[in-house]
Chains A and B, each alone.
Chain A
């Protein structure tokens, strides 16, 4: 059965670990949900994420839930090269072959990120350049991905903005003048510009009005169906994983405490922490 999916592999993370501090041999043993802390009592090191493994198939949407400080953002930031892992590896099956992300040199990593990865942050200020127009932000991303023809860049930016419901006549405006929901849509357009096989979404609807949230989620869902793009969706909102993700990982104090089909996680959670999380949802 598994062999049928061989060609569907996109990403395999093994033992991803990230700590802040000097680290000591006891760090991993002395932290985690069982110890109820992510700070090593011996050396004070913060273990943001430990021994995280996950497999992602092409076109698959995986949710990552957990409270603040559980390590979920750390996970996606490492995959986007925003943070370096302290240990572990991530095998990426990209269009140009298979590679281990953290063995790449800086130039290779940049190239891979620019072409094959997209990220949408909770705060559009992290993903957008506010000194460039909406169209300019997308052009910048396309240039980095190796598209150099001016007319093509302009046309692709136009199509992407139309697709993300940003009025075309505002293409040359600075994103700072847009509503927060529209800024978020520009960020999504920018992330999608190079047509990456993997999109990382870090709390993209957190802090938005409910109606704006709904529009962003609908948009992500439509784009996912249309482009068959794989997504890692980090959120603390169970409704978001219910809506988007086929599988879900539950993180607590830097550890994956449970992984399963999203409907199973929501209806038959196994881990005490997941049970508490599900039962306290409104």
Chain B
């Protein structure tokens, strides 16, 4: 794990230090160590890109920050909009849910959404959960879906039947619409055509201009060159070991 070059600037929105992730697979009696003391910082108004080959653990870092994976060790110090410090690695579930609703967005590689719900409502839902009136939220959803070139006629259908690229754009629309302070993007343009990709880049640049801190994974080298303000290289190093008696401890920390 190599630190990104960090010029002098205000305190980061998120600072990971010593982040470790181990999966304890009890049925197989093995521990799978995938992250070993990751250090990184994500600043407001910047795009930080995780680089490294597939299988290096880039997605695992995003999931550990979002708490879809429970970090094994280390800290994830997040500065909230109100200026409080919260360690996302240790915060209670209610705090994480609160931050997910108001501050931290995550666009996964694949769209997970409620079945049978029209795309428009899938995208509008996070705003409705914030208490916005449904029609107002839908208007916002309609606008961002149009920007991402989803045909109006599709927006009233559930995304289950959409193409991969359309699903991905619905996913992105939902992620960007709430304007999160910290945005985690996992290969946001992987299955998009050139024109749609440009629209996504516009959204990223706009979010950045508005001060969002973005941590992203991009498949495409040219995109990294275009968008990255900082890079963090993730080195693949998966270690398998038998499960011992001290599952709580992390033995993978390196100086």
| Residues on A facing B (Cβ under 8 Å) | 1-2, 4-5, 55, 57, 60, 214, 218, 221, 225, 243, 246-247, 259-261, 263-264, 267-268, 270, 272, 275-276, 279
Contacts and interface: CB of A to CB of B under 8 A. Distances in A.
Given A272-B26, A275-B25, A1 B91 contact: yes
Contacts of A246: 97
Interface residues of B, number: 26
Interface in B36-76: 63, 67-70
Given A60-B97, A267-B63, A268-B23, 15 more contacts: A1-B91, A2-B92, A55-B94, A218-B116, A225-B128, A259-B93, A267-B68, A267-B69, A268-B63, A268-B69, A270-B24, A270-B70, A272-B27, A275-B25, A275-B27
A30 to B, nearest CB: 23
29 contacts: A1-B86, A1-B95, A5-B94, A214-B115, A218-B116, A221-B114, A225-B129, A243-B114, A243-B115, A247-B93, A260-B70, A260-B93, A261-B67, A261-B68, A261-B96, A264-B67, A264-B69, A264-B70, A267-B63, A267-B68, A267-B69, A268-B68, A270-B70, A272-B26, A275-B26, A275-B27, A276-B26, A276-B27, A279-B27
A172 B202 CA distance: 58
Nearest to A228: B131
B90 to A, nearest CB: 12
B70 A4 contact: no
Given A225-B128, A268-B23, A275-B27, A263 B98 contact: no
B80 interface: yes
Interface of B: 23-27, 63, 67-70, 80, 84, 86, 91-98, 114-116, 128-129
B93 A1 contact: no
B69 A214 contact: no
A151 B26 CA distance: 61
A203 B97 CA distance: 25
A218 B121 CA distance: 13
A268 B68 CA distance: 7
Given A246-B97, A267-B68, A214 B27 contact: no
B74 to A, nearest CB: 15
Contacts of B96: 261
B98 A5 contact: yes
Contacts of A218: 116
Contacts of B116: 214, 218
A268 B80 CA distance: 25
Contacts of A259: 93
A206 B68 CA distance: 27
A272 B95 CA distance: 26
A268 B98 contact: no
A94 B112 CA distance: 34
A259 B93 CA distance: 9
The 7 closest A-B pairs by CB, nearest first: A272-B26, A268-B69, A263-B68, A1-B95, A267-B68, A247-B93, A261-B93
B223 to A, nearest CB: 27
Contact of B80 (A1, A57, A243, A279): A1
Contacts of A260: 70, 93
A140 B125 CA distance: 35
A217 to B, nearest CB: 9
Contact of B98 (A4, A214, A243, A276): A4
Nearest to B85: A1
Contacts of B84: 1
Interface centre among A2, A261, A267, A272 (most CB of B within 10 A): A261
B94 to A, nearest CB: 6
Contacts of A264: 67-70
Contacts of A5: 94, 98
Contacts of B95: 1-2
